[in-house]
A and B are shown apart, each in its own frame.
Chain A
Amino acid sequence: MRRGPSAFNIAAIVLGMGFLYLPIVLLVIYSFNESRLVTVWGGFSTRWYTSLFQNEQLLAAAWVTLRVAFVSATLATILGTLAALGLVRAGRFRGRTLFSSMTYAPLVMPEVILGLSLLLLFVSVGVARGFWTVMIAHTTLTLCYATVVVQARLVSFDEALEEAARDLGAPPWKAFTLVTLPNIAPAVAAAWMLAFTLSLDDLVIASFTSGPGATTLPIRIYSAVRLGVSPEINAISTLLIGLVATGVIAAYLLNMRRRTPGR
């Protein structure tokens, strides 16, 4: 029996990857287009990037988005790690079923419903919508992803190590930070990055929960996109794609190197 990929396998991979990447590649190429028209190639130019950095609305939105993403990802990672600890190690406790369902539900919940329900909460409490409401909404969404990522690592971590630390007299908190945390650190970092990009990317939930003055980048992009394709959107999209791709690939390479210390 033949081991390697057959011609059919290779064709499937090439076509699949082409499908996944062609639109993104085209978008990046046309962000360097001199012409305003999408289909006319007017020569190489970085003018749309220059005009991007003069667009104050866009820059303000980008700044809001980065702050929201940073704060919510940090909070979600902390809460998610705690939730994963509870789910993996606490055994049976009262309310566990409710807790685990609440943790996983947002993963499959249509975003529109999540956004709607959070907005109703903010309205009924009478909170003005803005930075903090978007931050809370994003923390709630990304908390679940963070939990799943950390949990996957925690399951394969030998709890006996931490128990040993405790037997040797370390208080639970110390045993956790000295023994378990360094071990699950890659997963915690990955959880943070996932939470950060999800928050960076979210349009639907942010639309429901943000107010004037806290317009995020996806909301800006969305309202621009509704008016049609423009090279400026291509340019900002390219920057975002570049940012995320660099981060993800760097995290991946870092993880690889840690696993093969001999090199």
Chain B
Amino acid sequence: MSVTGAPRPRRPWKGLGRPRGQPSSEARAALAPFLWLAVFFLIPFLLVAKLSLSDVVLAIPPYAPQLDWSDGLPGLIAFVRALDFEAYARMGQDGLYLAAYLSSLKFAAIATFILLLVGYPLAYGMAKCRPTVRQALLMAVILPFWTSFLIRVYAWIAILKPAGLLNMALEQIGLPPVDILNTDTAVYIGLVYAYLPFMVLPLYAVLERQEAGLLEAAADLGCTPFQTFWRVTFPLSLPGVAAGALLCFIPMVGEFVIPDLLGGSGTLMLGKTIWTEFFSNRDWPAASAVAIVLLATLVIPILLFQRQQTKMMEQR
């Protein structure tokens, strides 16, 4: 999926009547958001990178060194010298961080797979409906996306807790109660529930566009419905599968609310680690180092890969 939309043909006459080298009025319009993002997105990142090289001190804000511009160049040199990789070294030594990292990947990967299993039939079924029904169903999938994430996660607490609605229902039909809240199972349920719209929408988008003629052709050539699905529908829907998986996987790795509210004390996830380091342990350098590692090893490679894919699609 390309978030940038379809490439538009560049008009050869575009820019005529404008002095060479002068930015167009549209480029000038983009200056305001550009500056905004530079100040509130790019610079903060550099600060995170810098802080990850600092040391913890017991003060507010809890880190050192702090750059004092009034000292001029010697101050800057002293500042740079004082930076070190201690926070990273601690990360390497403390097995907890690695465990949290691997565990986040595991949670996100398994949840993405379950999302595919749940989301694909739903998106496929929706695409098979009449256009008016389809519109209503699409609306129904989008609506939970608009309602509060926090509230939707909260709703599961009431269902899953020991004296909750699920156990009440199980008791009614004579089954033994289950203890799900504050376990990994609850985290999976929460992840799948919260991210289902993100998975269904891209899948639906590719499945809806698929031509019925292709399926008819496959059937005419002797494919059983399952073969038609497996050899025609599914391969053609792979871009949607990739888009949906990507849209769910990255945010899930850094997820905080779901493991915090539904998971137990043993549930390790990076988003929670960053949060705890920051708010509870007040170890800002460690929190920054975790964030940088997460970005460098996961988010940026995936985004670069995605960019490459988009470029290749556009060239084709």
- Residues of A with Cβ closer than 8 Å to B? 1, 3-6, 8-13, 15-17, 19-21, 23-24, 26-27, 30, 38-39, 79-80, 82-83, 85-91, 93, 95, 99-113, 116-118, 120-121, 123-124, 136-137, 139-140, 143, 147-148, 151-152, 155, 159, 172-173, 194, 197, 200-201, 203-204, 207-208, 218, 221-222, 225-226, 228-229, 233-234, 237, 240-241, 244-245, 248-249, 252
Contact = CB atoms under 8 A, between A and B. Distances in A.
A87 to B, nearest CB: 7
**Interface on chain A toward B: helix, strand, loop, or mixed SS?**
helix
Given A20-B196, A117-B45, A120-B51, A13 B126 contact: yes
Contacts of A194: 146
A90 B34 contact: no
Given A20-B196, A87-B30, A113-B291, 10 more contacts: A1-B215, A6-B128, A23-B159, A24-B144, A82-B32, A91-B10, A99-B37, A104-B4, A113-B294, A204-B257
5 contacts: A1-B212, A13-B137, A17-B122, A83-B33, A218-B148
Contacts of B27: 86, 90-91, 93
A41 to B, nearest CB: 10
B128 A4 contact: yes
Contacts of B157: 225, 228-229
Contact of A100 (B4, B124, B137, B291): B4
Given A111-B254, A113-B274, A248-B146, A241 B33 contact: no
B47 A124 contact: yes
Contacts of B143: 245, 248-249
Nearest to A123: B61
A26 B254 CA distance: 28
Category for how many chain B residues contact A: 35 or more
A197 to B, nearest CB: 5
A21 B144 contact: yes
A228 B48 CA distance: 34
Contacts of B8: 88, 155
Contacts of B184: none
A170 B190 CA distance: 54
Contacts of B139: 249, 252
A143 B147 contact: no
B119 to A, nearest CB: 8
B5 A85 contact: no
B112 interface: no
A24 B196 CA distance: 14
Contacts of A16: 118-119, 121-122, 125, 196, 200
Given A85-B26, A120-B51, A143-B33, A151 B5 contact: yes
Contacts of A155: 5-6, 8
B24 A204 contact: no
Interface in B113-136: 118-119, 121-122, 124-126, 128-130
Contacts of B156: 23
B34 A201 contact: no
**A-B CB proximity, top 7 nearest:** A110-B254, A86-B30, A117-B44, A16-B122, A12-B121, A9-B125, A23-B155
B221 to A, nearest CB: 12
B247 interface: yes
B256 A240 contact: no
A113 B48 contact: yes
Most buried by B among A111, A120, A234: A120
Contact of A24 (B41, B141, B155, B216): B155
B15 interface: yes
Interface in B11-50: 11, 14-15, 23-27, 29-34, 36-38, 40-45, 47-48
Interface string B223-258: 000000000000000000000001100110111110
Contact of A110 (B128, B129, B271): B271
A248 to B, nearest CB: 5
Contacts of A91: 10, 14-15, 24, 27
Nearest to B171: A39
B40 A118 contact: yes
Contacts of B291: 112-113, 116-117
